[in-house]
Amino acid sequence: MRHPLPAARWPTEEEAAASLLFSPVRLGPALVAAHRTWVPAMVPWRATEEGFATPAVLDWYGRFARGRPGVLVVEATGIRDVPSGPLLRIGHDRFLPGLRALVDRVRRESGGETRLLLQGIDFLALRRRPEPGRFLRRFLAVDGPLRERLAAAEGDRRWIAAPEEEVRERLAAAPRAVLEAALSPRDLESLDFGHRERVTDLHLPHVRDLPRTLPGLFADAADRARRAGFDGFELHYAHAYTMASFLSPLNTRDDGWGGSREGRVRLPLEVLAAVRGRTGPGFCVGIRFLGDEVIAGGTRVEEAAWFGARFAEAGADFLSVSKGGKFEDARRPRIGEAVYPYTGPSGHECMPTVRADGAGPFGRNVPLAAAVRRAVREEGRETPVVAAGGIATFDLAEGILRRGEADVVAAARQSLADPDWWRKMRLGRGAEVRRCEYTNYCEGLDQRHRQVTCRLWDRDFDPADAAVARSDDGRRRLVAPDWPAGGAAP
């Protein structure tokens, strides 16, 4: 079923000025955003291979800043000093000059109006799906249990003591049914999806030590963001990454950092405390986490609400609620490619499209934010809650705020489709908004690690115009065209 875009009624300039959406919101003791409008983190694949900000990164954030959202969150930025492809990094002071330039650009383009946060992320190792022969001949661990299973599958005890090379050759030539019987579920997953580390891999020293290493890594990264001039830091505890995996019921660590919900929230709280301790009370620190993991055995909204209340109790300055985006139900990648956590049902809930079932994508995830907010308010805390997911009209956004379902409204893809849409609404010119179609062309580019653009504007340029920055293949413009009438700031 394909959902049509809902009709949009846009406010007059006076109505916008009197709205909750364009009223200020406090994000902790030290920060006030001028409006409850928010562009959440979106990875554009524009950093250098070494993780430095490029002119294209500055253009990307500068373009969003011209629409003057209350808050703009810089993409998931790696907190470690390890190579991670063209994603921004903040794991060393050498990244500071580029990040300072980014801050300056956003300040300038937004006339100082937009508050700028950076999202810090940690992720575990993920390998591409291997070529099967190579995996079976070189990387698979041939141990006693595997030999036993192979012997049982083949009805031949000889495999228990056969030379390792012979075992490997047999597996490389074996039909699928034999592989499924002989390989452990984890090895079979590595064969089909690529090897993926988990927070429960306690046999790996660096994974066992995460509770000791991550608080310092996050604290150092947040402090760099502070020194670069950002207004705050968003801890990425959502989707498929390390911190979300600690929160998940699939985290069965038995070392005090998993199991019960108290055990699972322990490291996330310690990271928050370490970041706060390093950056001080004058720096905004918030958390993005999942209102529902949308996978079998994962966190549901009741538990997420409890996590939200714990984060608020521990002094988080805001809570930004997302949904899904997990590896566990992702589609099998092609050989040589990495599994992408937004391809399965949980991924679809994270960035819902017009092909969504039931209610469609529009405001689809708001009930999760509302449940988190209720739990926080019931404990007497005013921590602001940010909702996202298919929010792209004034009435929907304002209704969410008026009904007290959230305190701030975030729009990722609508802001990509039209970075000026916030200002257009504010100026009473909503009829000029270029509306996102929620078909996820942009997400498809992200999936292929290509520079993210929007299909509504990326071919909209004169090929002879050398001033238009283009994608690597020269075919797409990299940022939305200017809004010709948008020169004068309100």
Ligand X SMILES: Cc1cc2nc3c(=O)[nH]c(=O)nc-3n(C[C@H](O)[C@H](O)[C@H](O)COP(=O)(O)O)c2cc1C
Q: Would residue 133 be called left, alpha or beta, if left means φ above 0 and alpha means ψ between -120 and 50 degrees?
A: alpha
Q: Smaller CB distance to ligand SF4: residue 51 or 363?
A: 363
Q: Minimal CA–CA distance to 80: which of 91, 88, 89?
A: 91
238 binds ligand X (CB under 6 A): yes
Does residue 69 bind ligand X (CB under 6 A)? no
Q: How far apart are CA 430 and CA 196, in angstroms?
A: 45
Q: For residue 269, give the nearest of 207, 204, 218 by alpha carbon.
A: 218
Rounded Cα–Cα distance for residues 460 and 12 (Å): 29
Residue from 47, 58, 72, 75 in contact with ligand X (CB under 6 A): 75
Q: Decide: helix, strand or coil at residue 233.
A: strand
**CB 265 → ligand X: shortest distance, Å?**
19
CB of 392 to ligand SF4, least distance (A): 9
Q: Would you say 90 or 397 has its CB closer to ligand SF4?
A: 397
Which of 21, 31, 34, 41 lies at the binding interface for ligand X (CB under 6 A)?
41
Q: Is 167 in the site for ligand X (CB under 6 A)?
A: no
Residues within window 309-338 making contact with ligand X, judged by CB under 6 A: 322
389: contact with ligand X by CB under 6 A: yes
Our finding on whether 442 is near ligand X (CB under 6 A) is yes
User: Among 201-209, 218-226, 370-378, 410-418, which window interacts with ligand X (CB under 6 A)?
Assistant: 410-418
Residue 32, strand partner residues: 26
Q: How far is the CB of 318 from ligand SF4 (least distance, A)?
A: 24
Measure the CA–CA gap between 350 and 353, rounded to whole angstroms: 10
Provide the minimum distance between the beta carbon of 451 and ligand SF4 in the complex, in angstroms, as a whole number: 13
The rounded distance, in Å, linking the Cα atoms of 290 and 461 is 38
Q: How far is the CB of 347 from ligand SF4 (least distance, A)?
A: 14
In the list ligand X, ligand SF4, none, the entry touching 351 (Cβ below 5 to 8 angstroms by class) is: ligand X
CB-nearer residue toward ligand SF4: 169 or 437: 437
Residue 460 CB neighbour total at 10 angstroms = 12
Cα Rg of the chain (Å, integer): 24
47 binds, among ligand X, ligand SF4, none (CB under 5 to 8 A by kind): none
Helical segments of 229-260, H only = 242-247
Question: Which of ligand X, ligand SF4, none lies near 267, with the C-beta cut-off 5 to 8 A by kind?
Answer: none
Q: Which two tokens stand for residue 358?
A: 């039931």
Q: Is the dihedral of CA 129, 132, 133, 137 positive or negative?
A: positive
Q: Which parts of 450-489 interact with ligand X (CB under 6 A)?
A: 452
Q: How far is the CB of 364 from ligand SF4 (least distance, A)?
A: 14
SS3 120: strand
Q: Which listed residue (244, 370, 388, 425) binds ligand X by CB under 6 A?
A: 388
Residue 312 binds: one of ligand X, ligand SF4, none (C-beta under 5 to 8 A by kind): none
Looking up tokens 């228990």 gives 160
Minimum CB distance to ligand X smaller for 291 or for 390: 390
Out of ligand SF4, ligand X, none, what residue 23 binds, judged by CB under 5 to 8 A for its kind, is none
Find the binder of ligand X among 80, 224, 226, 288 (CB under 6 A): 288
Tell me what percent of the chain is helix, strand and coil, each rounded to the nearest 5: 40, 10, 50
Separation between Cα atoms, residue 371 and residue 368, nearest integer Å: 5
Residue 439: name its binding partner from ligand X, ligand SF4, none (Cβ under 5 to 8 Å by kind).
ligand SF4
- Look up residue 349 and give its two tokens: 């809930």
Shortest distance, position 410 Cβ to ligand X, whole Å: 6
User: Comparing C-alpha atoms, which of 236, 203, 195 is closest to residue 217?
Assistant: 236
As measured in angstroms, the least distance from the Cβ of 40 to ligand SF4 is 13
Indicate whether 119 belongs to the interface with ligand X (CB under 6 A). yes
Which of 34-42, 110-118, 299-307, 309-317 is the region at the interface with ligand X (rule: CB under 6 A)?
A: 34-42
Residues that bind ligand SF4 (CB under 6 A): 413, 416-417, 436-442, 454-456
Pair 299, 248: CB distance under 8 Å = yes
Name the nearest CA neighbour of 412 among 75, 106, 111, 51.
Answer: 75
* Structure tokens belonging to residue 174: 């074996």
CB of 42 to ligand X, least distance (A): 4
Beta strands in 283-361 (DSSP E): 284-290, 319-322
Q: Tell me which of ligand X, ligand SF4, none is bound by residue 454, counting a contact when its beta carbon lies within the kind-specific cut-off of 5 to 8 angstroms.
A: ligand SF4
For residue 234, report the phi and psi dihedrals to the nearest 5 degrees: -105, 120
- Interface residues with ligand X (CB under 6 A) are 40-43, 75-76, 119, 236, 238, 288, 322, 350-351, 388-391, 411-414, 442-443, 446, 452
